[in-house]
A and B are shown apart, each in its own frame.
Chain A
Amino acid sequence: MKRFLVLAFVIASALAAAGARPQTEEPDAPRTIAITAKRFEFVPPEITVKRGETVRLLVTSQDVTHGFFQRALKIDSDLEPGKTAEVVITPPEAGTFTVICHNFCGSGHGSMKLKVLVE
C-alpha cells in the first residue's frame, strides 16, 4: 500500500510538472504570414511558400472593405476594415499565383495584387 501511494505521488508530481511547463508552439503548426491590405496594395506585395506547405495568412484591411481572391488556391475572402481574416492555404503545386482584391475599392483597384510564389 505504501509503495502504491509513493507511485501515485510520483505520477501526480510528474503530471503537475508537465502542466506547469510553459506552452510552446506545436512543431507541426502552420507558418503564419501577416499581410496588410490598403488602397491599393497588399503589404508585403509578394510571399514565398513551399509546395504542400500549409500556411496561415492573416490579412488585415487598414481602410475599406477589400477582397482576397485566387481561383487556383481556392481563396475567396472578404476583408472588412479593421478586422483580420485568416486564410489557410496548402498549395498543391509550384508556380506563381496572383491574389487579387476583388472588391472594387476605387480607381487603383486593378493594381491591388499579391504575388504568391510557390517553390
Chain B
Amino acid sequence: MDPVDRRRFLEIAGVSLGFGALYRAAPLLGVEPEAREVSRLLGKKNGEAPSAFSFVQLSDTHVGFSGPPNPLGTQAFEKAVEIINGLPDRPELVLVTGDLTHDSEDLSEHADRMRLFGKIAGRLRVPMVRFVPGEHDAGLDGGRLFRDAFGDTSYSFDHRGVHFIALDNVSKAKPILGKEQIGWLKADLARFPATAPIVVFTHRPLFDLRPDWEWFTTDGDEAINALAPYENVTVLYGHIHRENVHRDGRATHYAARSLAWAFPDPSDAGPKKPLPFDKDQPFKNLGLRVVGENGKRGSAPAVREVELTLREFSGTVGIQQLLKGGVLS
C-alpha cells in the first residue's frame, strides 16, 4: 500500500447493483498513528468516530405507476429488496432518494400507494431506512402525505461518524430548496470540520444537468456553495432514472437508477422519453442484471472504487492541519 493509500481515512466502494448503489465505507484506521488521531478528533467533534459500514441507495420506485415503460409494477422494487436482504455483507442503512410513489390526484389512492411502498420497504432487513420525497410524492400536496407516512422531508443525522443530510427540492412543487432550507443547511454544516465525511441525499440534481428536462434545482448552487468548503462531500440523488457521475469542486454527485423505468442519456439531443420496456430483458436499464455477478473470475460485479473523498490526510486541510489544532481546535 503506498503512503497515500495508508493515509486514506475512509473510502467508499460503489457496487453497480442497478437497484441503486451500494457503498461500503471502509475506514483504514489504525494503520498510522495520525489516522487514529484524526478518528479520535472527528469522533470528539461529531460525537462518533468513523468506522466501517455499508449502505444502499434506492431510487424512483414509482409505486402505483402503470404504463408501457413498466408493465411489471413493483416487481423490480421487490426484487431489489430481496437482493439487499441477501447481501452477504448486510448494509446498515438504506437511503431512498425520492419518487417512492407515482402521484395520484386521488389522495386516497396516493395514500394507498404510500402504504404499499412502506409495506415493501418494510421487508428490508436493515437497521435503518431513510427517505426523501420526489416530486411525484410531494409535488401536488406540498409533502403532506409523505410527512404523514415517512416523517420530515429534510433533516440530518450521523451514522458511524458520517454526517448524512436529507435535502428536499420537491415539496414546494418547483425544483427549489428555498432560503429557509439553505439557511438550515448552513447552520447544520457549521459544527463540522472541513474534513468531515458528508453524504447529502436528495431527489433532483443540485446542479444544472439538463434544465430543459427539469433536471436541476433552481437554487442548487447555493447548497453547492455551502458544501464547497468541505473536502469530503458525496451527493446522492435520483430523478433522472439512470446512473450519472458529476464532479463539482471537491464534491461528487451520483445519480441512481430507477426501479421503474429508465430515461435516455442527457447528452442525447432527442426528447426525454422513457426507454421502452424490453420483455426479453424486463429489468434492462434498471440494472438488476449485474447483481448476480458476484464472483471474482469473469463474473465480478461492476465494482468501482469511489472515494467518499475522505481523502488522504496530507492535503492542505489534512491531517497536519488537524493535528496542529487548526480546524478542530
Contact = CB atoms under 8 A, between A and B. Distances in A.
A110 B214 contact: yes
Contacts of A76: 218
B211 A69 contact: yes
A1 B211 CA distance: 73
Given A69-B211, A71-B211, A110-B272, A103 B103 contact: no
B52 to A, nearest CB: 39
Given A106-B140, A107-B103, A100 B212 contact: yes
Nearest to B274: A110
A54 interface: no
Interface residues of A, number: 19
Given A76-B218, A110-B272, A104 B173 contact: yes
A106 to B, nearest CB: 7
B139 interface: yes
A7 to B, nearest CB: 62
B174 A103 contact: yes
B18 interface: no
B170 A104 contact: yes
A104 B140 contact: yes
B140 A71 contact: no
Interface of A: 65, 67, 69-71, 76, 78, 97-98, 100, 102-107, 109-110, 113
5 contacts: A67-B173, A71-B216, A100-B214, A104-B139, A105-B173
Interface of B: 102-103, 105, 135-136, 139-140, 170, 173-175, 208, 211-214, 216, 218, 272
